[in-house]
Amino acid sequence: MSVTVNSYHGAMSRWQPDARGRLQLAAMELYVEHGFEQTTVAEIAERAALTERTFFRHFTDKREVLFFGQDKFQDLFVSTVLQAPEGASPLATITAALHAAALDFEPRRRWSQERQRVINSSPGLQERELIKLAGLSAAIALSLRERGVGEPTASLTAQSCTAVFQIAFQQWIAPENVRTLSQVVSEALDALKAVTAG
């Protein structure tokens, strides 16, 4: 699958706005073209017509290009859980959070496909992705406990939430898929309910 993100190759002035976005697009191009391990920060900066110093103002390393925004993603889950109506069940609470995340992701399907392709090519990136998911699960569990949900229900619900998202996400980015992420999330939740009802 070829990448279709915008190509810069020095065509943009280094003073043009949205340096972070330009660096992300340049990095993704290079990761797909040459591989994550083979790509250097210097090459990313050059492709975006920026300096390495500018790169490090926005990202701690080249891996963070792929994981930037994860804090916002986690905050979306946590805030939706905490703002759920009083008396909402744990399942209803994570359902709302999953759909909020799905709406946030929907415009970025192509980026998500390319990002996952790069992550799948590197064991180190796969490990980092799993660590991020574990952190998300822990944060959701904590927010459920703050709502008064006891253990082990809070942790089981949180882990179910991240599992549903992970499975739905993989189905959503599949090339043959034509459904929205919200639709896929709903199907995954229905499957979870069927399992627990049994």
pLDDT tens, position by position, 79-114: 999 999 999 999 999 999 999 999 999 999 999 999
pLDDT in tens, 133-156: 999 999 999 999 999 999 999 999
Rounded to an integer, what is the distance from CA 123 to the centroid of its chain?
17
Q: 19-65 falls under which CATH superfamily?
A: Homeodomain-like (1.10.10.60)
Provide the whole-model pTM. 0.83
Who contacts 198 (Cβ-Cβ below 8 Å, separation ≥6)? none
Each domain of the chain, given as residue ranges in start order, spans 19-65, 69-197
DSSP letter for 7, please.
-
C-alpha dihedral sign at 149, 155, 159, 160: negative
CATH of 69-197, one of 1.10.357.10, 3.40.640.10, 3.40.50.300, 3.40.50.720: 1.10.357.10
